[in-house]
Amino acid sequence: MTYVHDTISSLQLSSPAQSEFYQAVEDVLSSLSPILESNNFYKKQAIIERIVEPERQIMFRVPWVDDNGNIQVNKGYRVEFNSALGPYKGGLRFHPSVNASIIKFLGFEQIFKNALTGLPIGGGKGGSNFNPKGKSDGEIMRFCQSFMNELYRHIGPVTDVPAGDIGVGAREIGYLFGQYKRLTGRYEGVFTGKSLLWGGSLVRKEATGYGTVYFAQYMLDDRGDSLQGKKCLVSGAGNVAIYAIEKLYQLGAIPVTCSDSTGTIYHPKGIDLKLLKRLKEVQRTGLIEYLETYPEATFTPVADYPKDGHAVWRYSADAAFPCATQNELTENDAEKLIENGCKLVSEGANMPSTSGAINLFISAGIAYGPAKAANAGGVATSQLEMAQNSSMQKWSFQTVDDHLKQIMKNIFISANEASHEFGQAGNLVLGANIAGFKRVADAMIEQGVV
Ligand code: NDP
Ligand code: 2IT
């Protein structure tokens, strides 16, 4: 697979110091040998060289004034990666770790994820190294307004439609949308994940977490099993984790963990979802406060995590749902999970497992749903929000949820079928990468060298 090595070497020269981006590229390209090495079609079209280069990358200064009157400066990004299948679509992440590498890895993943949904959406991602933690509402609003003062000229309902990601939820989308409307004078579907009061879609808030659990259910169906009674480990305590936990309960499973940037909660009786929502959605506090209601639960602070991994994956369970952030599940974590009897991993977060961990899951033959397939329910429901906005309709919860289930089922079927067709039955990493790639690459070729 010399093309993988050659591509990464060339990216290391043209886009230095972007390790997360190289990791995402390597993951996709390593799966493509069955279609790249058997014929010269894609090679002649220089499709790999084209697909790893974003169509456009916007980087900008975001100056704002904090509550003490001090001027703060952050960096803003929007990477418009690929528009072969539709307008650029993907979230905005506000987190101090954000840099060009993180936004490019997320944008690159988004291309293939969006292709897998079968819907007409291209791939993009954006964000800022702004840290929303501990900021007042006024500070969040002024930051969002300044961010939009530059971003508004690059986005629009048929060009580029951002949404949320880490650190960006309905509150931030509200401030961003308000400023877009003020600058352009246009009330249009330029964002998804909007409030239900003004253009949002039912189920969008729940969609990523629910979708990840639906995907797990389809993987288990295929193996003649179900989620009923399964003990599940969930990481994260944000939007994706909370609604994964909600759906796990609805399907008869028992989620026993959650985690945040301060530590991990283990509650063998099952996580109290109502309390979790209050702590993280309303009070926005750290997870240690869970112990005030449940002193019998265990809290492991980050400082006490194993050196080579994450406390959350060291408990024994039937299934694991990484829903926090990239590279949060290491090779050692994967080894422990498998040793402790874990039979399924469904990824709510983007690229949560390291390459070493993924290799272990594949070789152990457990049901492994890679992020670009398993967490596509969020962006798919975003597209349903766009469809409702442009037709001026509002669908019921049931209608949107039925669409979401069907989309997750179709993603499982296309990834699974591709894995059979290309000789590695059940390897959904290979299947999802090939199915997503083919759809984008073929569309790019039909649209010429642009
Ligand atoms: P939120 O901001 O709502 O929640 C993120 C959670 O992960 C929080 O509990 C946060 O801790 C924790 N976390 C974030 N970064 C770190 C870190 N570096 N170390 C430890 N914990 C961390 O984000 P989402 O739930 O929306 O996103 C979670 C993941 O899902 C991300 O990978 C995102 O890209 C992915 N995703 C999100 C979609 C969406 O629709 N929102 C769609 C598809 C994927 P704390 O509470 O302390 O901040
Ligand atoms: O990673 C993702 O798919 C998201 N953060 C959701 C993107 C979207 O446009 O809804």
Residue 73 sits in the same domain as residue 220 = no
| Residue ID of nearest Cα to ligand 1 atom 21 | 261
Q: Quote the pLDDT of residue 137.
A: 98
The three-state secondary structure class of 449 is coil
Q: Quote the pLDDT of residue 160.
A: 98
The three-state secondary structure class of 432 is helix
Instruction: Specify the ligand 2 atom closest to the Cα of 350.
Output: 1
Q: Quote the pLDDT of residue 38.
A: 76
Q: How far is the CA of 267 from the centre of ligand 1 (A)?
A: 21
Residue 139 sits in the same domain as residue 234 = no
Least confident of 35-39, 282-286, 336-340: 35-39
**Which of 53, 69, 85 is the C-terminal boundary of a domain?**
53
Residue 125 annotated among the catalytic residues of the structure: yes
**Which of 323, 340, 374 is the C-terminal boundary of a domain?**
374
| Residue ID of nearest Cα to ligand 2 atom 10 | 379
Q: How far is the CA of 339 from the centre of ligand 2 (A)?
A: 33
Ranges of H-type helices in 88-129 = 100-116
> Which of 104, 208, 351, 389 gets mutated to test ligand 2 (max ligand atoms within 8 A of its CB)?
208
**Ligand 2 environment, Cβ below 6 A:** 89-91, 110, 113, 163, 165, 192, 350, 378-379, 382
Residue 39 sits in the same domain as residue 77 = no
Residue 264 sits in the same domain as residue 356 = yes
Q: What's the rounded mean pLDDT across residues 149-168?
A: 98
| Residue ID of nearest Cα to ligand 2 atom 4 | 91
Residue 144 sits in the same domain as residue 283 = no
Residue 65 sits in the same domain as residue 37 = no
> Which of 97, 165, 278, 404 gets mutated to test ligand 1 (max ligand atoms within 8 A of its CB)?
165
Residue 47 sits in the same domain as residue 63 = no
Residue 251 sits in the same domain as residue 351 = yes
Residue 130, domain CATH: 3.40.50.10860
Residue 277 sits in the same domain as residue 325 = yes
How many structural domains comprise the chain? 3
Asked whether residue 436 is domain-assigned, the answer is no
Gap between the terminal Cα atoms of the chain: 27
| Residue ID of nearest Cα to ligand 1 atom 19 | 261
Q: Quote the pLDDT of residue 276.
A: 98
Decide: 302 and 262 in contact? Cβ < 8 Å: yes
* pLDDT band (50, 70, 90) for residue 64: very high
**Per-residue pLDDT tens digits for 259-269:** 999 999 999 99
CA distance 254 to 233: 9
Provide the residue range defining the domain that includes 83. 55-187
Residue 330 sits in the same domain as residue 267 = yes
Helix H or strand E encompassing 356: helix 355-364
CA distances (Å), origin 367, targets 76, 107, 275, 352, 427: 38, 26, 31, 16, 9
**Per-residue pLDDT tens digits for 230-245:** 999 999 999 999 999 9
Least confident of 1-5, 48-52, 106-110, 156-160: 1-5
**Which of 187, 221, 248 is the C-terminal boundary of a domain?**
187
Residue 160 sits in the same domain as residue 104 = yes
Q: How far is the CA of 418 from the centre of ligand 1 (A)?
A: 30
Q: What's the rounded mean pLDDT across residues 382-407?
A: 98
